[in-house]
Amino acid sequence: MAALEKGKVESAIGHTQRTPLRGMRFETLDQAQAYLDRWDRTWADTRIHGTTKRQVAAMFSQERPALLALPVEPFRYYEYGKRTVHLDGNVEVGGAYYEAAPGRIGSEISVQWDERCVRLLDPATGELLREHARLPRGRYTPRSPGETPRTPPTTLQLLARATSAGKQIGALAREMHGHDGELAVRRILGLLSLARRHGAPTVDQACAAAFEIGVPTYRFVRRYLERRLLPRLELRHVDPLIRELTHYRDVIERMSQKETRP
């Protein structure tokens, strides 16, 4: 019976499109709405329904007490995905980073988000772990109130790896972690990645230069290496149509001698 009633409700949409609106044009939406309201009062509500053989307005007045009020806000559509909790305890959604529940580092959790909020869920039970307001790209959620700062064992291992890679690399890693806490973990990983790519001694020198100049940041080290290791361009005689510069010099000298002769 419920499916039949649902079909009757949905069929009214097609009936409205075919009956009062067919061939009609309106300058504004308000004009169209006023026309439909008048059509409902004078024709649609007073007609006898073909199947039920009852007046539409009388049926609606009988069903109205059972209708619920509309929601305060529109239905929210979420996007869904899986995210791995990084070493700094955050997950990434749309270029921003959101704090996960404690004890989840390295594990995969479910995430749903829209333009207003990000919800972190337990992948097994669907339980809501954390809910955050949506942040712009590159931003991090603030630390939870009352949470005592504590360096996770994984971060301590990461700092030890940086120290073993080079004295200045380790010093810069500790400097970044002391300044930004767990938010610096990604930059420390980037520092170690530079050491693998360019060699630890080269990156260690770049870190020493960062301390000397007073800019102990991962960004400075990366830019420093990019500019120092940028290949130098050399002019080469690669095309037979391009003559040596000495040829043009000799031609100019001969032309000058002809012009100066009496």
| Residues 157, 124 share a domain | no
| Residues 118, 207 share a domain | no
| Residues 183, 248 share a domain | yes
Report yes or no on 7 lying in a domain.
Answer: no
Residues 6+ apart with CB under 8 A from 237: 244
Report yes or no on 235 lying in a domain.
Answer: yes
Report yes or no on 252 lying in a domain.
Answer: yes
Cβ distance 166 to 207 under 8 Å? yes
Domain hosting 63: range is 23-67
Give the pLDDT mean for 134-138: 89
- Report field, pTM of the whole predicted structure over 0.85: no
| Residues 179, 101 share a domain | no
φ, ψ for residue 236, nearest 5 deg: -125, 150
Q: Which amino acid is at 213?
A: I
Report yes or no on 141 lying in a domain.
Answer: no
Cβ distance 82 to 109 under 8 Å? yes
* Confidence label for 2 from pLDDT (cuts 50, 70 and 90): very low
Report yes or no on 72 lying in a domain.
Answer: no
Give the CB-side neighbour count of residue 199, counting CA atoms within 13 A: 4
Report yes or no on 181 lying in a domain.
Answer: yes
- Dihedral angle, C-alpha 49, 53, 54, 56, nearest 10 °: 0
| Residues 259, 228 share a domain | yes
Check residue 41 and give its pLDDT.
86
Cβ distance 159 to 170 under 8 Å? yes
| Residues 246, 211 share a domain | yes
Q: What is the CATH number of the domain that holds 85?
A: 2.40.50.100
| Residues 200, 162 share a domain | yes
Check residue 60 and give its pLDDT.
84
DSSP for 46-86 reads TSBPTTT-SBHHHHHHHHGGGPPPPPSSPPPPPEEEEEEPP
Report yes or no on 1 lying in a domain.
Answer: no
- Which tens digit of pLDDT belongs to each residue from 17-61? 777 778 888 889 899 889 888 888 888 888 887 777 888 888 888
Long-range contacts of 146-151 (CB under 8 A, 24+ apart): 149/181, 151/177, 151/182
| Residues 125, 45 share a domain | no
The total number of structural domains in the chain stands at: 3
Element containing residue 198 per DSSP (H, E) = helix 185-198
Structure tokens given for 161: 């790896």
| Residues 253, 227 share a domain | yes
Structure tokens given for 166: 């080079």
Instruction: For the beta carbon of residue 190, count every other beta carbon within 10 angstroms.
Output: 14
Report yes or no on 229 lying in a domain.
Answer: yes
C-alpha span between 230 and 223 (Å, rounded)? 10
| Residues 183, 212 share a domain | yes
| Residues 220, 120 share a domain | no
Element containing residue 105 per DSSP (H, E) = none
| Residues 256, 168 share a domain | yes
Instruction: For the beta carbon of residue 33, count every other beta carbon within 10 angstroms.
Output: 11
- Which tens digit of pLDDT belongs to each residue from 56-115? 888 888 888 888 888 888 788 889 999 998 877 889 999 899 988 877 888 899 999 998
